[in-house]
Amino acid sequence: MTKISRLPFLFIVTGIVGFIAFHATSIFSLSTWLTEELRGPNGWFQVHLFVLGWATMLAMGAVYQLIHVILQTHIYSEKLGYAHYLCFTAGLIGTLYGFLYGEVYVLAIFATLMLLGILLFAFNMAVTLYKAKHWDTITISAAIAVAYLVLTGISGLLMGLNLALGYWVELHGRLFGAHIWLGTIGWFGLLITGFSYKMLPMFYLAHDYPKKLQTIILLLWNAAVIAGVLSFLLNGKPWTMQLALALLTIAFIIYNVHLLHIRKNRFKKNPGAGIQWSMYVNHGFAIILILLLAFSIYKPDQMLSSEAVRLAGWLYLGGWVSLMVLCYASKIVPFLWWTYKYGKLAGKQSIPMMSDLLNDKKVKVSLTCLISAALLMQMGLVSNNAILISIFGIIFSLCSFVYIALISFVFRK
C-alpha cells in the first residue's frame, strides 16, 4: 500500500485556502481587477495569489505524492519538504503584502525567501529522480517543469531587484514576458501534460495505448517554451512569438489526440465527472489556441496588447490550468485521504470505499455550473464588458466556493 505522509496535505490545504482567498477578494472587488491594468498593485496581488497561492501550492502537494506513486520510492528528504513549505508559504505571504501595498523592499526580501523554497523543492525533486533512475516522458516532463519553475522564480526576483535598485530598466519588460511564459507554459504546461500520462490511464484503466506521441508532445512543448522566452528576451519580431504559439498549438492538438487514444483503450467506461470534464476542457482549449493563433496572424500588432494578453492569460490560467487542477482534485484528494486514513485498515475491518468520500453526481453538477460561469465570464472579457465581467465573475466565484467545499469535505470522512 502506498505510504502517504502529511506533507502533501499541507500544500493541498494551503492551496485550498489560497483558492478561497482569491475568490473572496474577487467578489469584494466585483472582479473589477480583471478590467484594470494588470501591471499594478491589485493585478499583481490577484494574479500571484491565484497562480502561487492556489495553483502552484496545490500542484506542489500533488507532485510530492505523485512522484512517489510513479517511482515507487520515497522522496529524498521529507524534512526538506517541510522547509520548502515554510519558506515558500512565508515568502508568498510577504510577497503578496509587498504587491498590495507597494512595498518594494518587502517584495524583494520575501520574493527571495519564496525563491529559496522553490530551490529546496527543485533540489528535493532532482535528487529523488536521480536516485530512482527512472526516466520516461512523465518523469522528464516533471523534471523540466520544475526547472522552468526555478527560472520563473529567478526572473521574478530579477524584476523585483530591478524595481528596488533601478538597474536593467530596459530589460524589465522583456523579463516580464519571459517570467510569464516560463511560469504558465513551462511550469504548469509540462507538469499537467506530464502527469496526465500517468493519471488518465489510471482513472480510465487504460492499457496498450500508443505512447510515441508523448515524446513528440514533450519536444514540441519545450520548443514552444524556449521560442517564447527567446522572443521576449531578445525583443523579437511578431513572427517569433507566432512561431512559439504555433508550436504550442500543434503540441496541444497532438496532446488531445493522445488523450483520445487513452480513452479509446479504456476498460472503465465512467472514470468520474472530474476526469470527463477534464477531457472536454482539453478539447475546448485546443480550439481556443487555434483561434488565438489565427488572431495573432490576422492582427500581429495587437498580439501583445494589454487586452489580448489579459484575455489569453485568463483563458489559459483561469481556464485550462485552474480547471484541470480542479478536475483532477476530484480524484487525487479522495485517493490521498483514503490511503492516508484507511489504507492500513483495508482487509482488516469494514471501511468506506474511495468513491464514498466524494459524491460524483454533486461533482458533475458543481463543475458544470462552475465551468459554465467561467465561459460566460470569458464572454465579458472578449467583449470588454465590465458589467458582464462583474456579474459572471461573482457567479463564477460562488460556484467555485461550492465546488471547493465538496473537495474539502472529503477530509471529514
Q: Which of 29-43, 142-156, 197-211, 328-342 has the lowest mean pLDDT?
A: 29-43
Q: Answer yes or no: is pLDDT of 359 > 50.
A: yes
Average pLDDT estimate for 105-128: 91
φ/ψ region of 134 (left if φ > 0, alpha if ψ in -120 to 50, else beta) reads beta
Single-letter residue type at 175: L
Poorest-confidence range of 89-93, 240-244, 335-339, 359-363?
A: 335-339
Nearest-angstrom CA–CA distance, 156 and 285: 27
**Does the structure show a pLDDT above 80 at 72?**
no
State residue 1's pLDDT score: 43
Lowest mean pLDDT among 195-204, 309-318, 399-408: 309-318
- Residue 39: pLDDT band with limits 50, 70, 90: low
For residues 394-402, average pLDDT: 91
Residue 89 has pLDDT above 70, yes or no: yes
Least confident window among 28-32, 66-70, 246-250, 294-298: 28-32
Q: Which pTM was predicted?
A: 0.90
Residue 41: band (very low, low, confident or very high) from pLDDT cuts 50, 70, 90: low
What does pLDDT average to over the chain?
87
- Per-residue confidence band for 36, with pLDDT thresholds at 50, 70 and 90: low
Give the pLDDT confidence score for residue 252 in this predicted structure. 97
Contact call for residues 222 and 280 (beta carbons, < 8 A): no
Would you say residue 80 has pLDDT above 80?
yes
List of domains in the chain: 1-134 (1.20.120)
**What are the cell numbers at 396?**
463564477
